[in-house]
Amino acid sequence: MRWSKCGRLCDGPGQVGWAQTHAALPVVETTAAGRFRVYFSARDGRGRARVGSAETNLVPGSWTPDAAPCLELGPLGSFSDSGVTSSCVVTVGDIKYLFYTGWSLGVTVPFYLSAGLAISDNGGATFQPFSQGPLLDRDEVDPLLTASPWVLIEGGIWRMWYVSAVSWVMSNGTPLHKYHIRYAESRDGFSWNRRGIVCIDFKDDSEYAIARPCVIREDRVYRMWYAYRGDRYRIGYAESSDGVVWTRLDEQAGIDVSPGAWDGQMIEYPVVIDANGRRLMLYNGDDYGRTGIGLAETMPA
């Protein structure tokens, strides 16, 4: 498929007091009024991210952010005391489940990441963490970090694709993370069976980060969009017949940087939605979302 870029929904978080820069890691859902709500991550003056949301018609410039974040930092010393970043929203009845990444600062490495879960019973206006600890903590299967969960519910099974690190390595005197995408399952969304199943792995030694997956199912085909990087982030694409074993088809992603534009150096964090007969992609460009959220369109097959 080929994506046609439509412009930017926003060039930053908007006029909100809780955020100064960035509108990263968009997640989009349809509202009861037929509009769209985009959850995103924005940073304060100290670089700490919170999750907020904005209403939009998915037309460039139609961006009305809420005055307050919907998910705050965790308490001092917790897994999310230095940032929370959006990843996926699942709605079951009147309850919304926000899967997110919690950030805490490290000493020997710059940061630690853990996948978290927060719950809303007021339509997504605010979310409260379901526990004081992370949803996926470091363990024998994922000993270094977990992040960026994407979740679908199929036949009573909660299916998750998430980021897990395989190592930290020293590069030019600085610790560098290496992480890829793995798979887990749950019967309730809270307790997860992790077996170390790798879905999207590095294609060569130049890659070191494969970031936030977005998965949809069309008939018998699972489609995944994600970000991958060696030098700079690009958007990748993969397909699967069962959601577990995937084939990377990055050459079919159909979208790339636009030299000289707001997404001229890097392009990342795609999320795909079908709405009113249109297939739309929201994504970030240069500097991990500092330049805002872009919109692209193609027609579903």
pLDDT tens per residue, range 153-189: 999 999 999 999 999 999 999 999 999 999 999 999 9
Sheet strand arrangement including 293-298: 4-10, 293-298, 278-284, 268-275
Query: 269 falls in which pLDDT band (50, 70, 90)?
Result: very high
Average predicted confidence (pLDDT) for the chain = 96
Whether 210 contacts 199, CB under 8 Å:
no
Residue 82 corresponds to which tokens in the numbers above? 């230095």
- Percent of all residues in the chain with a pLDDT value above 90, rounded to a whole number: 94
Dist. CA 99–CA 85, nearest whole Å:
9
Q: Is 276 a residue whose pLDDT tops 90?
A: no
208: left (phi over 0), alpha (psi -120 to 50) or beta: alpha
Domain count, the chain: 1
Dist. CA 155–CA 187, nearest whole Å:
10
Dist. CA 32–CA 146, nearest whole Å:
33
Compute how many other C-beta atoms are within 10 angstroms of the C-beta atom of residue 69. Answer: 23
| Residue 83: closest CA among 139, 43, 24, 140 | 43
- Of the two residues 148 and 35, the one the predictor is more confident about is 148
Q: Is 34 a residue whose pLDDT tops 90?
A: no
- Range from 4-8, 115-119, 200-204, 275-279 carrying the lowest mean pLDDT: 275-279
Residue-wise pLDDT tens digits, 138-156: 999 999 999 999 999 999 9
Residue 41 corresponds to which tokens in the numbers above? 């991550």
Q: What is the structure's pLDDT at 32?
A: 74
Q: Is 223 a residue whose pLDDT tops 90?
A: yes
Apex CA 271: angle with CA 72 and CA 63, to 5°? Answer: 65
Question: The domain containing residue 103 runs over which residues?
Answer: 4-298
Measured in residues, the chain has a length of 301
Residue 130 corresponds to which tokens in the numbers above? 């379901």
Q: Is 299 a residue whose pLDDT tops 80?
A: no
- Of the two residues 33 and 81, the one the predictor is more confident about is 81
Residue-wise pLDDT tens digits, 95-128: 999 999 999 999 999 999 999 999 999 999 999 9
Q: Is 248 a residue whose pLDDT tops 70?
A: yes
Whether 213 contacts 150, CB under 8 Å:
yes
Q: What is the structure's pLDDT at 300?
A: 65
Query: Which residues neighbour 213 within 8 Å (Cβ) at sequence distance 6 or greater?
Result: 148, 150, 161, 162, 163, 181, 199, 200, 224, 225, 226
Q: What is the structure's pLDDT at 149?
A: 98
Residue type, 136: L
The DSSP 8-state label assigned to residue 71 in this structure reads B
Residue 275 corresponds to which tokens in the numbers above? 């709405």
The DSSP 8-state label assigned to residue 75 in this structure reads P
| Residue 289: closest CA among 6, 7, 22, 18 | 22
Q: What is the structure's pLDDT at 301?
A: 59
Give rounded-to-5 percent helix, strand, coil for the chain: 0, 55, 45
Find the CATH number of the domain harbouring 187. 2.115.10.20
Residue 113 corresponds to which tokens in the numbers above? 């990441």
Residue type, 56: T
Q: State pTM to two decimals.
A: 0.96
Q: What is the structure's pLDDT at 206?
A: 94
Whether 80 contacts 103, CB under 8 Å:
yes
